[in-house]
């Protein structure tokens, strides 16, 4: 099964991956977590639904997203 991994310390919480990019809509900006730079990183809500398309990785400026299979 494909899996998305967010590198929380690298993420700047821009939210580009969270808005209409994920076809299965499993990425959100974390409401609770905060990284050492003070950003709310992106969070995966349900990794079981991931289809491994890599759109989130392609739009990520850092890139703070890795996709595994």
Residue 33 lies near other proteins (rule: CB under 8 A): no
* Closer to other proteins by Cβ: residue 45 or 58: 58
Closest distance between other proteins and the C-beta of residue 32, in Å?
A: 19
* Block residue for tokens 């639904």: 49
Number of residues that bind other proteins (CB under 8 A): 27
Query: Using the rule CB under 8 A, is 49 a contact of other proteins?
Result: no
Cβ-count burial 17-53 (b if 16+ within 10 Å, e if not): bbeebbeeebbebbeeeebeeebbbbbbeeeeebeee
Tokens 């809509």 sit on residue = 25
Output the smallest distance, CB 45 to other proteins, in A. 18
């Amino acid at each position: 099964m494909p899996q998305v991994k967010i590198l929380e310390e690298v993420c700047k919480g821009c939210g580009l991956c969270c808005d209409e990019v994920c076809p299965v809509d499993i990425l959100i900006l974390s409401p609770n977590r905060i990284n050492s730079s003070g950003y709310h990183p992106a969070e995966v809500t349900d990794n079981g639904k991931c289809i491994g398309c890599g759109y989130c990785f392609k739009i990520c400026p850092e890139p703070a997203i890795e996709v595994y299979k």
